[in-house]
Structure 1
Amino acid sequence: MDPSSDAPKPTAKDIAAKYRKEIADGVREAGSRLPAARQLAKELGVQLMTVQSAYSQLRDEGLVLSQQGRGTFVRDPSLPLGTEPGSSPAYVALAEELNSIHDTLRLLGERLDRLERVVGDETPPVR
């Protein structure tokens, strides 16, 4: 992404693609901070909202976390989505829903085990 005046200015999609590739290639490691949005916008000669949109795309994909007053950081992929401060609200809601589903499945499994024990204790009728 060349910020020179005659080169086309990058779009939010271009900026997100650059950082997505850097994260995938290991150039940006978990916990590393992305450039401040204002500074990056100035360097690239784009509006602040363009960089914020790019960072928002990466956050919605679960690749980065944004923390108010601290910045945007590459997310640790080994941690469950939605559990860290700054997670996308969609992932937080998804994590809560998955926890609820997990609890329900555990309870259903326990009920099934009890039913199988009760049925298994009964002697089948002889024909």
Structure 2
Amino acid sequence: MDQSAEAPKATPTAKEIAAEFREKITGPNREYEPGDRLPAARALAKERGVQLMTVQSAYGQLRDEGLVLTQQGRGTFVRDPAVPLGTEPGSSPAFTALAAELNTIHDALRVLGERLDRLEQRVGGETPPSS
């Protein structure tokens, strides 16, 4: 038996594909910058010898981590970390819901702050009760 022959590669899992692209997006020797398009899922599946669902699952993991955006009909793109999560088209539905909730909380805090300012102005003009 010839020991120099390469052993066949195992079929990668979605988790392994996601880890590979995570490194290519965030690692020290990054290959993808914000706005760059990842390989088409169908082409990558064919190249890696996996089912399309495997690549879609890997890209889904990256999207759920906030690393990429998926735009139907256009592809999967590296997300710009300077843009708030959940605000871009193609964001993870979880991040979109979280962003909406945070906006609601921010607005409520702003209104409460304004009310507190008005109350402090009213109370500040009164003389304190004597003991």
By the TM > 0.5 criterion, same fold?
yes
Partner residue in 2 for 1:72: 76
Counterpart CA distance in 2 for 1:52 and 1:5 is 27
Which 4+ residue blocks in structure 1 deviate beyond 3 angstroms?
none
Root-mean-square deviation (CA, aligned residues, Å) is: 1.3
Deviation at 1:5? 7.8
Matched letter for residue 32 of structure 2: R
1:44 aligns with 2:44: no
Counterpart CA distance in 2 for 1:63 and 1:34 is 11
1:17 aligns with 2:25: no
Deviation at 1:27? 2.0
Deviation at 1:126? 2.9
Counterpart CA distance in 1 for 2:7 and 2:76 is 27
Query: What secondary structure does 1:10 align onto?
Result: coil
Query: What secondary structure does 1:65 align onto?
Result: strand
Count of paired positions: 124
Query: What secondary structure does 1:73 align onto?
Result: strand
Structure 2, unmatched stretches of 5+, are 1-5
Query: What secondary structure does 2:77 align onto?
Result: strand
* 1:48-71 residue CA offsets vs partner (Å, 9 max, x unmatched): 000000000000111000011110
Q: Larger C-alpha radius of gyration, 1 or 2?
A: 2
Structure 1, unmatched stretches of 5+, are none
* 1:68-112 residue CA offsets vs partner (Å, 9 max, x unmatched): 111000000000111111111111111111100000000000011
User: 1:5/1:31 Cα in 2 relative to 1: closer, same or farther (>3 Å)?
Assistant: farther
Partner residue in 1 for 2:58: 54
1:29 aligns with 2:33: yes
Counterpart CA distance in 2 for 1:126 and 1:13 is 70
Q: Which moved more, 1:21-30 or 1:63-72?
A: 21-30
Q: Which moved more, 1:63-72 or 1:23-32?
A: 23-32
User: 1:104/1:66 Cα in 2 relative to 1: closer, same or farther (>3 Å)?
Assistant: same
